[in-house]
Copies of this chain bind each other. A is one copy, B any other.
Amino acid sequence: MTKRLAVSAPASLDDTDRALLAALAQDARQPVSELARLVGLSAPSTAERIRRLEAQGVIERFTVQIEPRALGFTLQAIVRVKPLPGQLHLVEDVIRRIPEFVECDKVTGDDCFVCRLYLYSIEQLDEILSKINDRAETSTAIVKSTPVARRLPPLG
């Protein structure tokens, strides 16, 4: 399910916080001492800021970005899924359980879900979509390139 979030005033970041988040986005495993050097603060202050950003919920987590092609996922697809009447929850569950769906958003409008899949082949795409094709209409787009890879939003 969607994570619950404390509804509070948005955190306000200063320039140091912004520099810190940018540095962490680039390499989250950098030692605090190095991050401190980059943002021009002492290590303890830097560590304290990281803790604060986590406590505020600005930092959700530190994670690893995989290159799917290095694992043989030569195909990336964006699929819009429109469940048939009464099939919404079931379709959502099926999507959740198929690991090739690496991302899925429920959205307004005619197509209920927008999903991203990592795939080995077109045949596999067909095979996976057949698992929901009796419960939903799908429309598939194959990713040709990625002009903007996941990046940080403006940190106003």
| Number of A interface residues in the complex (CB < 8 A) | 71
Bound Cα distance from A62 to B30, whole angstroms? 9
Name the one of B66, B72, B96 contacting A152, with C-beta atoms under 8 angstroms: B66
User: Would you list which residues of chain A between 113 and 153 have a CB under 8 Å from chain B?
Assistant: 113-115, 118, 139-153
For the complex, is A34 an interface residue (Cβ under 8 Å from B)? no
Question: Which residue in chain B gives the minimum CB-CB distance to A30?
Answer: B62
Bound Cα distance from A101 to B60, whole angstroms? 19
Bound Cα distance from A153 to B66, whole angstroms? 9
Copies in the complex: 2
Q: Are B62 and A67 in contact (CB under 8 A)?
A: no
Chain B residues with Cβ below 8 Å from A95 are 147-148
Chain B residues with Cβ below 8 Å from A101 are 148
Given A25-B64, A28-B28, A109-B142, 16 additional A-B pairs, CB 8 A: A1-B145, A5-B69, A5-B70, A27-B61, A28-B61, A28-B62, A58-B66, A59-B64, A62-B65, A66-B153, A99-B154, A102-B153, A105-B144, A105-B145, A107-B143, A114-B114
Closest 9 CB pairs of A and B: A10-B72, A107-B141, A104-B148, A28-B62, A118-B153, A99-B154, A57-B70, A24-B64, A60-B65
19 examples of A-B residue contacts, CB within 8 angstroms: A1-B145, A10-B70, A10-B71, A13-B71, A56-B70, A59-B66, A63-B64, A66-B152, A68-B153, A71-B153, A73-B153, A95-B147, A99-B151, A103-B146, A104-B148, A106-B143, A108-B141, A109-B142, A150-B150
